[in-house]
Each structure stands twice: as C-alpha cells, then as structure tokens.
C-alpha cells in the first residue's frame, strides 16, 4: 500500500493505492459510516461491506438525478447520520458524483471517502472534487466542488468490470496523453487493452500515473479557471452526443476528441498531422471515432455548455500531441464546423 498526499485549498487529500480487499471493514467505523454504492457493484462486492449501513442506488447514468439525491438524503436522515460521520462512495463515476454531491450538501458538508471501481472512475471521475447530477438532457448542470479526504484504489474491483467499461476508461487515459503527455501516448501506442487487462501490475502503474497527471491539474486550478479546462478536451461535443444519443461517456469523448483534433488542425498551422495518430490510437483501444448525428440538435445542446461565454465557446484544442490550449470560438464557427463534419 502507498499513499500520495495532495493539498488542495488547504485540505489534505490522500490517494492510497493497492489497498487490501478488507480495507473498508478494517479501517472504517461501522457505526459512523454509510456506504453509497450501486446495485451492480453491490452484487459483485457486497462481502466488502459486511456490517455497514449501505445505500444502494440503481446503476446507470439515468439515475444521476435530483430524485436519487433526495432519496439518499432521506435515508441518511432516517438513520440520523451526523456531521461527524463519513460517507464512503464505492462505485463508478455515477456513484462517486452522487456521493460527493450528497456529502457536500448534507448538513452543509460531512466527511467523504471514495473508492472508484471503474477505470474511468479511477483515472478521472473520483479525482478533483467535482460532482454533479444531470437535469434532463443537460449533463452535470447542478453540482459542487467538494474534495474527499481519501481516494482509495482497490484494484480487485476491476476483476468484475465488463469489457465495455474498460474501453470507456481508456478514452480518458488517451485524453490525458493527448493534452499533457506525449510519452504516455507512445507507450499506449505499443500496447492494448488486452495487455493491460491481463497484467495487474501494468494497469495499476498506468492508473497511478494517470492519477498523478489529473491531480496535478487539480492542484494548480481547483475551480477550472485555467489549466484544468484542458481536461475538457473532447468533452464539448462529447457531452452533447452522450446525452442526445445515450452513448457511453468514453465513446462520446472519443468522438469528441477526434473532432477537436481535426478542428485544431483546421484553425492552426500544424507542422504535424495529429488527428490521424489520435484516430489510430483510439481504434487500437476499440473506441469509436465518428458517428452520424443531427448537427442542429447537437449544436443546440452545445449552446448550453458550461464553457460558453456570450457568443463564444471555450474550446480545448491541441498544438501537438501532449500540448493543449484553449481558444474561444464563435458559436457560428462551431455550427459551421459541425455542419461540415456531416456534409
């Protein structure tokens, strides 16, 4: 077991790797903790929660709503959970987003510990304190930034993770390589999902590397004002596609990254072609790189993106692989580009 300590807004956050399977039962007080998980994670891993109060939400993005938050809070009140108690979120990004939001608003903030159980959760969703729920088609429109005290990595969770979720998680790993780390990009080019799945040490090292990559963005810019925005690479179009067509998050981000890479080439004088290399890598990790979509509907949704400022949308683009920048693009230019993608 090893722990890396990060300080964000004077709060200490421990990322603890290689925790043993009994970490929850042997480290947390059953009387003073509540586990929030989903039904799927519960069905595979309930032996880790024996003796604890457990709130089990239905799995899936469509349950990341205010109704779920209300139900969780009602249960906490029924159990008379106090401000000194701890919420332990165990699950993928949906569960960690719900657990984080509830922990922040319940009695104006109670202790939070997260155990991400998907690749996407481990390299992205559980890190950085952002949480949120969807409002109709609008993703993560309501939420807060609230840091957990501990993010614990129990790689044994990955044994039950379906293939489609492995693929999803690699979209965010490839995103990290695109915006920040050309060496990581080259390493990924020489490997495959199967190789990582079959080699626990390799996947653990890859996750650890990606955690440090993301946490370094968060330390510099907790509230998304500068560098942290780079983490939105591929997400502007991605979120719109994800919501309109119910795509898995990683698939949507993958298509969004290809579009952003091509847009980077279009509006920048590029010395090298980045998009073809990105397309090859995404395909190697079994991710989609394009899809048919109704550009008018997509554009309408993109107009409500959180990164919009007046007539402009702050788009994350690449100078080259491993180097991102943001550029405000006029909404009209974005509409034209979407139209062109499908002409």
Chain residues in the site for ligand NAD (CB under 6 A): 38, 40-41, 44, 59-61, 64, 91-95, 97, 117-118, 120-121, 124-125, 128, 130-131, 140, 157, 160-161, 165, 168, 249
By beta-carbon proximity to ligand NAD, the closer residue of 238 and 275 is: 238
By beta-carbon proximity to ligand NAD, the closer residue of 221 and 335 is: 221
Q: Smallest distance, Å, CB 276 to ligand NAD?
A: 26
Question: Closest CB to ligand NAD belongs to which residue?
Answer: 93
Q: Which run of H or of E encompasses 13?
A: strand 11-17
The answer to whether 18 and 152 are in contact (CB under 8 A) is: no
By beta-carbon proximity to ligand NAD, the closer residue of 59 and 275 is: 59
Full DSSP string of 111-122 = EEEEEE-SHHII
Q: Smallest distance, Å, CB 249 to ligand NAD?
A: 5
Q: Smallest distance, Å, CB 117 to ligand NAD?
A: 4
Q: Smallest distance, Å, CB 169 to ligand NAD?
A: 7
Look up residue 16 and give its two tokens: 């603890």
Look up residue 54 and give its two tokens: 């457990």
Orientation of helix 331-341 relative to helix 295-302, angle to 10°:
150
By beta-carbon proximity to ligand NAD, the closer residue of 160 and 319 is: 160
Look up residue 189 and give its two tokens: 């080019």
By beta-carbon proximity to ligand NAD, the closer residue of 40 and 307 is: 40
Full DSSP string of 123-158 = IIITSSSB--EEETTEEEEE--B---SEEE--GGGG
By beta-carbon proximity to ligand NAD, the closer residue of 125 and 274 is: 125
Q: How far apart are CA 136 and CA 315, in angstroms?
A: 24
Measured in whole angstroms, how far is the alpha carbon of residue 12 from the centre of its chain? 21
Q: How far apart are CA 299 and CA 241, in angstroms?
A: 10
Q: Smallest distance, Å, CB 214 to ligand NAD?
A: 9
By beta-carbon proximity to ligand NAD, the closer residue of 44 and 223 is: 44
By beta-carbon proximity to ligand NAD, the closer residue of 64 and 176 is: 64
Q: Smallest distance, Å, CB 254 to ligand NAD?
A: 13
Q: How far apart are CA 252 and CA 222, in angstroms?
A: 25
Q: Smallest distance, Å, CB 294 to ligand NAD?
A: 22
The answer to whether 274 and 205 are in contact (CB under 8 A) is: no
Q: Using alpha carbons, select from 151, 163, 275, 282 the residue that is nearest to residue 210.
A: 151
Look up residue 149 and give its two tokens: 């005290």
Q: Smallest distance, Å, CB 121 to ligand NAD?
A: 4
CA dihedral 211, 214, 215, 219 (to 10 degrees): 170
């Amino acid at each position: 077991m090893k722990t890396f300590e990060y300080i964000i807004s004077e709060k200490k956050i421990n990322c603890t790797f290689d925790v043993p399977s009994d970490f929850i039962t042997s480290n947390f007080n059953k009387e003073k903790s509540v586990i929030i998980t989903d039904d799927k994670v519960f069905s595979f891993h309930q032996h880790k929660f024996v003796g604890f109060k457990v709130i089990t939400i239905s799995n899936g993005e469509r349950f990341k709503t205010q109704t779920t938050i209300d139900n969780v809070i009602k249960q906490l009140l029924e159990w008379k959970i106090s401000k000194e108690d701890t919420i332990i979120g165990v699950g993928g990004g949906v569960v960690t987003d719900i657990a984080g939001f509830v922990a922040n608003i319940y009695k104006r903030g109670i202790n939070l510990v997260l155990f991400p159980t998907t690749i996407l959760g481990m390299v992205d969703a559980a890190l950085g304190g952002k949480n949120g729920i969807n409002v109709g088609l609008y993703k993560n429109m309501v939420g807060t930034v609230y840091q957990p005290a501990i993010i614990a990595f129990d790689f044994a969770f990955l044994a039950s993770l379906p293939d489609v979720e492995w693929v999803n998680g690699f979209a965010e790993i490839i995103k990290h390589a695109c915006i920040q780390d050309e060496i990581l990009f080259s390493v990924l080019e020489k490997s495959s999902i199967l190789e990582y799945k079959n080699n626990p040490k390799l996947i653990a090292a890859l996750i650890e590397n990606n955690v440090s990559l993301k946490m370094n963005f968060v330390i510099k810019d907790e509230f998304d004002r500068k560098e942290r925005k780079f983490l939105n690479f591929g997400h502007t179009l991605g979120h719109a596609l994800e919501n309109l067509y119910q795509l898995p998050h990683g698939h949507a981000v993958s298509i969004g990254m290809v579009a952003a890479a091509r847009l980077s080439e279009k509006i920048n004088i590029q010395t090298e072609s980045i998009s073809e290399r990105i397309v090859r890598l995404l395909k190697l990790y079994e991710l989609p790189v394009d899809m048919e979509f109704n550009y008018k509907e997509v554009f309408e949704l993109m107009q409500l993106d959180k990164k919009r400022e007046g007539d402009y949308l702050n788009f994350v683009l690449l100078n080259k692989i491993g180097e991102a920048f943001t550029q405000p693009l006029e909404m009209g230019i974005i509409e034209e580009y979407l139209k062109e993608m499908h002409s």
